[in-house]
Structure 1
């Protein structure tokens, strides 16, 4: 029995301990890389969902602009058509904020909205616009949450040292005005 314990004290013990440490470190780095990959995939998926929701809101806003008189209807039509033309392009925060301002100017109070609701077709469009706005807010919240988790993981020292993110760009938050106009709230 003393021979069995004796070999652990020599070179074999060091080799065995080194292999064990390398296996644990390799497993941990592999775990972190897989988690980071899942977080990046979540960011991409949530970004695509957000872009879809933004395109839908712009399309509905464009339809609603036809029921409004000048100048609000024209301003809303211009802002919405600018965002509808490029649904596959990256989110233009300036364009989305312009659309949000146009929505706020078009629906400043409930009186105007109530007059528009007198027409059932316009009322349905307004309901759809409210729903599209809620979905944009939810999609942006999910996206920014996913970005926050990915950024937090990428800031970990071991992730940076081992270069586990590779050449992937740092995910960015989407900061747009997604508040609901007073008249539609």
Structure 2
């Protein structure tokens, strides 16, 4: 074999090794991104539970009238029940979706806003009793829900962006993993 042939074979082997390294790197990155989505969803689940628990705490603090407290308890209990219904064991998306709980969480946000207009929130804070502390925890939990949802959605968008690359599609680097979706629900904070 001539020197030129050896150079051509060496160049072809080099290109194949570089392609194999790139595909391996891309597949590993995609796997890490999918794991990030799962972790972000777990964090979102935890923050949703904390928000519902803080809502129950406010409802039971005695700072609200019984009818309003009952509305809050119903919405928060509905949220907690939906979280408990969802099990990852039979999850075809391997923990990468919110199990259709967006409506329940939006409803909880709507009930919180209806029960706590700005003037009521200001009155509860002024009382500086157990209701004020519970309202503070509810506000903090609401902020953590917003942050967790945004973090999750950013992770999902990154997975979607990487999976849209032609190399990832051509070599099927995502395997049979289902494309995760963003979680969209009303998580507006309490004003006042």
TM-score, length of structure 2 as denominator length: 0.85
- 1:121-132 alignment, distance < 5 Å: 121-132=130-141
CA offset digits 1:128-181 (Å, max 9, x no partner): 001001111111111111111111000001001110001111111110111112
Q: Report the RMSD for the aligned CA atoms in angstroms.
A: 1.7
Contact 1:72 1:102 in 2 (8 A): no
- The residue number in structure 2 matching 1:9 is 4
Contact 2:139 2:190 in 1 (8 A): no
Match of 2:112 among 68, 89, 103: 103
SS in 1 for 2:83: coil
**Does 1:174 find its partner at 2:179?**
no
How many Å apart are 1:18 and its aligned residue? 2.2
Match of 2:69 among 61, 67, 73: 73
How many pairs were matched up? 176
- The residue number in structure 1 matching 2:160 is 151
CA offset digits 1:87-139 (Å, max 9, x no partner): 35245000000100000101112x21233231511111000001001111111
- The residue number in structure 1 matching 2:21 is 27
Contact 2:54 2:137 in 1 (8 A): yes
Instruction: Give, in whole Å, the separation in 2 of the partners of 1:107 and 1:101.
Output: 10
- The residue number in structure 1 matching 2:150 is 141
How many Å apart are 1:13 and its aligned residue? 3.7
Structure 1: state its 5+ residue gaps.
1-5
Structure 2: state its 5+ residue gaps.
87-97
CA offset digits 1:31-72 (Å, max 9, x no partner): 101111111111111111111001100011012123322433
- The residue number in structure 2 matching 1:3 is none
SS in 2 for 1:71: helix
- The residue number in structure 2 matching 1:18 is 12
Please identify the structure whose Cα radius of gyration is greater. Answer: 1
